[in-house]
Amino acid sequence: MDIGYIWDEAKYQKVVKEHNVKFYEVVSAFDDPNGIVIPDPIEHEERWAWIGRTPWDRLLVVIYTEQDLPYFRIITAFDAEGRWHDEYYQR
């Protein structure tokens, strides 16, 4: 099954402004063969956190849901710091 990505435009603009993360970076982070997925600790709905490195050597956390499969609905994305950074490098 091919996976696509969708992102609410208003949320996307907010992420671009607050975290300077672009859509193409988020999609590329999913291609990291060393990327990891963990349940999102904020349990509003079944959400996942993907931690992956982009080709531009940026480590991102991407919060998403699979409820719209075959599309991943992106909730937010930001630079991996603290526990997110540690989680990636400990695996």
Entry pTM: 0.90
pLDDT-derived band at 69, boundaries 50, 70, 90 = confident
The domain spanning residue 45 has which CATH number?
3.10.450.530
pLDDT for residue 3 is more than 80:
no
Which residues constitute the domain of residue 22?
4-90
Cβ–Cβ under 8 Å, residues 63 and 47: yes
The pLDDT value recorded for residue 91 is 82
Q: Which band of pLDDT confidence, cut at 50, 70 and 90, is reported for residue 1?
A: low
- The domain tally of the chain equals 1
Rounded to whole angstroms, the Cα distance separating 84 from 61 reads: 7
